[in-house]
Amino acid sequence: MRLRIATFSVALLFAVAACGNETSKQTELLLRVDLIDEAVKAVEAWNAEQTVSLIDTGEDELEYFEINATPTLVNIYVAASNATKAVAFIYRDGELEEPAQPETASGSTVVWGDVDLEIGNASVYEEVVAALPESTVSRFVIARDAEFDRLTYRVVMVSDLGGEFAAYVEPNGKIIGGDLLG
């Protein structure tokens, strides 16, 4: 079922892209994917300064439920308490804000070393933006798909009608699938 939805979504995405060379509404709006690496390093430095580390799974690295970039900031959700809690961090304007209190969480996690570093520029979402010129790019998301246990890169778009669409991309920005979001 998921494969049929992804196939339909990709077909829909390419059909929209074929409708013309309209200038995208995204020309001024950039996602801060350029700050993701810097934001992760800031969280790791913050963790190294703490008397009690968030690394509690026996691994050598922090684990993340999700890392996402918006037009103004980077959100990082660090797994804590054996991945039963998430600690949210915001990296904005080159500064790491104090973390939120841990919240109950579950799901698959990602270690930064598994993330492909090609993502550090706008090319990772330009193909999606070009394919959906009348939609607004909302965020770029790095997470592990629990069902297939693989790292995913998603570009989330919001239509003028209010619906959301997630395009799955390779680290170089090539579209490989999609989902309509609820």
Distance CA(23)–CA(176), nearest Å, equals 23
* Average pLDDT for 128-135: 88
Q: If we measure between CA atoms, which residue out of 57, 50, 46, 48 comes closest to residue 79?
A: 57
Domain ranges of the chain: 2-29+122-181, 33-114
Is it the case that residue 53 has pLDDT exceeding 80?
no
């809690």: which residue's tokens? 85
Distance CA(159)–CA(79), nearest Å, equals 31
More confident residue, 147 or 175: 175
CB 102 within 8 A of CB 52: no
> Which residues, 6 or more positions from 108, have their beta carbon under 8 angstroms from its beta carbon?
65, 143, 144, 145, 146, 149
Distance CA(27)–CA(29), nearest Å, equals 6
- pLDDT bracket for residue 21 (50, 70, 90): very low
